[in-house]
Structure 1
Amino acid sequence: MERLPDVFADRIAVSLGDGHGRRAVLICAGGADLSAVAAALSRQAWAVGVCCLDPEAVERGQAATEAAGLVVDWRAGAAEALPWQDGRCAAVVCCGVNPAEAPVRSEIERILKAGGVVLAEPGSEVG
């Protein structure tokens, strides 16, 4: 599993700024270790949730953030069926997932608050 560089995690955290308790959801198709991103956002007062297709990646990420003393809501699942309530997220970060694909876009729109932000890794279309 490839761990995303801390500089990438820090750039995401800087881009989103202080969370003030707002929810940010990270979506991963699997393979990438999002624990650095989750930790960076958690340290900036974001309520962080991670949805990853790979259950083992979820277990590893949860162990890493718990070891750092951080509370992150790790869940195994697909980007096409996100396990969060409608309109509750201020930010969505996509890694290995194209947020412009119809089923994914629909789920992101469902969980994102009005005025929310979507960040995607380079090469993904935000639409």
Structure 2
Amino acid sequence: MKTFKLNLDKLGITASTFCAIHCAIVPLLLTFLPLWGLGFLADERVEIFMIVISLLLGIWSMSSSYRKLHRKVTPSIILITGFLLIALGHFSGIKHLEPILIPFGGLAIAAAHFVNLKLARNCPAPNN
């Protein structure tokens, strides 16, 4: 019987990539979303929900891997950079930067999970 093991980094890569795609495509499709029954995707609450899920997964994954495995801060620095880009895009008030900064922030978060996953896989044994 196969057991299922949740890999937070793979889940984080998926969530943050979807977030980046969502933030890049929604402004282009804004007028068509209601016609397709997908108007809820343009809702600010959906964006905040995706950001919060990515943030929780990132913190959980990076802190767990740092403490138990690799002891490297690089993934956390990339993660923080990604969230700073997203925050700057959302709260700077410069509307023409939002569709640029937020997708790059999402991709940076996915990259942080990818780096974390690679570092964790290269560890010989967990540190206690």
Higher helix share: 2
User: Would you say same fold, with TM above 0.5?
Assistant: no
Q: TM-score range by the shorter chain?
A: under 0.3
Query: What's the TM-score once normalised by structure 2's chain length?
Result: 0.24
More contact order relative to length (CA 8 Å, sep ≥ 6): 2
